[in-house]
Structure 1
Amino acid sequence: MTTLPKALALCLPARERRSPSLELHDGRWLAAAKSGLYVFGAGSASDEKAQKSYEVFPWYDVARAQWEAEAESFTLEWVDPTRPSLVGRGQGDPSDFMRHTSEYVNRSIVVHAQVETEGRTTVTVWVRRGPDGLFSILTANGPLDAAGQRQADALEARVRDAVGLD
């Protein structure tokens, strides 16, 4: 398991400071903590920069994470398709980090469904688990005409109904 530098680990809640991490070749660090995905900017391992150069993303914002072993490449895709993927070449053994990341993402997903509209836009509905309970997210990877919007709304209604959301 790759160990997060001490200055970065101190940014995590005390009970999560031993969370698995991944160092990227460009100097960024990622930590898979129960409270969220911590993303530390390049060069943030020094004490004074660590407190200012990180973001924490809730697991329900993450669609999927993938490790390509041959290229030693990490890709994280967000639920929001307009947000650029987090991509980088990794260093060290990513197995613990990837296992925990997968577990936390999967734990936040209650159900998801997809449909391709007549206009060839893929619509995805997710029901995710957040701190305040279940909620749904509808995303489309392209434009929706009126018929596509009706399909998207119908899919979201079916998925929400399936889990008892109003």
Structure 2
Amino acid sequence: MILRRDRRLPEPLAAHLAARDAPLASAELADGTWAVVARAALAVVGPSGIVVRSPWHEVERGTWDGDESVLTVTWVDGVRAPLELKVHDAPSAERFTRALRERVQSSLVHSESAELPGGAIVMVHIRRDEDGALFSQVTARGRLRDDAEERRLVDEMERHARAAVGLTT
């Protein structure tokens, strides 16, 4: 059996990262940049510095496509285009993708979801930002009617989720 050791983030690139962004896992990308899973954020770093840096509470999920060796990161806000990370060495991506999943999950403290009368699914997440503060995040899948009753239901869901973790107002 041949044991292989994953390549490490080169020191000149690591020097661009702040101390709070010390790599927990990293993966070389096909374009020569590196994706870094850090305690506080996901970063992409290249020779001239940080290309992307997003705190974990902004990440909705990462989806691995093994056939293409691409990790697609989607964002909670649903506005930013997904970030596609083409991994240079797919076999070494396992540790990176595991670490990414763990960090996204670590930002989620509590979640609740419900289907509204109009059919949209609303999710309320209590998340931890990169400084450790808790806050609520409301997202929806499907079309919202945006009427008074729907707003009341969403507000009640958010109040309930916040109360479940001791957040008020």
Cα drift, residue 72 of structure 1: 1.6
Aligned pair count?
Answer: 158
Contact 2:58 2:75 (C-alpha < 8 Å) held by counterparts: yes
Partner AA of 2:36 in structure 1: A
* Match of residue 37 from structure 1: 42
Q: Structure 1 12/136 Cα, relative in aligned 2: closer, same or farther at 3 Å?
A: same
Cα drift, residue 125 of structure 1: 0.9
Cα drift, residue 32 of structure 1: 0.3
Listed one character per residue, the Cα deviations across residues 112-153 of structure 1 (whole Å, up to 9, x for unaligned) are 122222223222211011215211111224434213222211
Cα drift, residue 82 of structure 1: 1.7
Identity of aligned residues (%): 34
Segments of structure 2 that go 5 or more residues without pairing to the other structure are 1-5
Q: Structure 1 89/18 Cα, relative in aligned 2: closer, same or farther at 3 Å?
A: closer
* Match of residue 60 from structure 2: 63
* Match of residue 162 from structure 1: 164
Give the Cα–Cα distance (whole angstroms) in 2 for the partners of residues 105 and 69 of structure 1. Answer: 20
Equivalent residues in 2 for 1:5-154, closer than 5 Å: 5-14=10-19, 17-40=22-45, 44-45=46-47, 49-50=48-49, 53-92=50-89, 93-130=92-129, 131-141=131-141, 142-146=143-147, 147-154=149-156
Segments of structure 1 that go 5 or more residues without pairing to the other structure are none
Cα drift, residue 15 of structure 1: 7.7
Q: Structure 1 133/88 Cα, relative in aligned 2: closer, same or farther at 3 Å?
A: closer
SS at match of 2:127: strand
Partner AA of 1:29 in structure 2: W
SS at match of 1:19: strand
Contact 1:10 1:17 (C-alpha < 8 Å) held by counterparts: no
Give the structure-2-normalised TM-score.
0.80
Give the Cα–Cα distance (whole angstroms) in 2 for the partners of residues 144 and 125 of structure 1. Answer: 18
Contact 2:114 2:121 (C-alpha < 8 Å) held by counterparts: yes
Give the Cα–Cα distance (whole angstroms) in 2 for the partners of residues 129 and 18 of structure 1. Answer: 19
Cα drift, residue 28 of structure 1: 4.1
RMSD of the TM alignment (CA)?
Answer: 2.2
Partner AA of 1:37 in structure 2: L
